[in-house]
Amino acid sequence: MKIANVLIVASLMAFISGCASKEKDVFNMPATYWYGEITKEIKNQDLEKADSLYTSLASEHVESPLLPEAMLMLANAHSQDEEYLLANFYLDEYLRRYGNKENADHVRFMKIKANYEAFPNPNRNQQLLLDTIVQTKDFLVRYPDSKFAPLAQTILVRLQMGEYFLDENIQSLYARIDKPEAAKLYEEKLNNSSLKEAKIIEPNIPWYRSWFEKQ
């Protein structure tokens, strides 16, 4: 997983650096200029341009107090545009450079929320689902008194329901393809789940996807 994360970050940096080449004719500008341009391009919904402008801000004004503000602004913009990988990139950078006791719970919750919102379809991306459950549990242990804790708890319950339905489908699949040992493992996991007796409404899957989701 660490190697995969390094490759993802390297790809993102290459992408952003590539975008920055479009700004070769503008350089050595004050931080307020770059920040204003980033804000303008976000309002114009041109996030590719905003990313390239951020690179200029970050390279020309390493210690600018506007840099962390730009990171959070871009993270929110990419999250709203359903570009959750890029949102997490900016949040990880913010935590690495500016994370402290006052803001860490907020930024870590933003990461959890971005991952949660990256699940537009049920029964997909099992690893991201499991990783986000672990991150959310860790958040609740680290920051039990955070104002974001109730929201994180709600997200955790919904993620666990998603995991339960996913396990049901996997168990059913193994039973259909005559893999009794694997099916039994998932059956035991379902029987030991705290959600076994809960009355959960199963996610609605469109007919044109149901062939792929439940086969």
pLDDT in tens, 5-49: 555 555 566 556 555 444 456 788 999 999 999 999 999 999 999
Ranges of the chain whose pLDDT falls below 50: 1-2, 20-23, 206-215
Please state the pTM of the whole predicted model.
0.69
Shortest CA distance to 92 belongs to which of 102, 82, 84?
84
Whether 164 maps to a domain, the answer reads no
Total structural domains within the chain:
1
Query: What confidence score (pLDDT) does residue 50 get?
Result: 96
Report if residue 205 sits inside a domain: no
Residue 97: per-residue pLDDT: 93
- Asked if the structure places residue 21 within a domain, the reply is yes
CATH of the domain at 9: 1.25.40
Say if 187 falls within a structural domain.
no
The reply to whether 37 falls in a domain is: yes
Q: What is the pLDDT of residue 207?
A: 38
Domain hosting 59: range is 1-98
Q: Is residue 146 part of a domain?
A: no
Task: Check residue 23 and give its pLDDT.
Answer: 46
Nearest in space to 69 (alpha carbons), one of 98, 28, 89 = 98
Do the domain assignments include residue 48?
A: yes
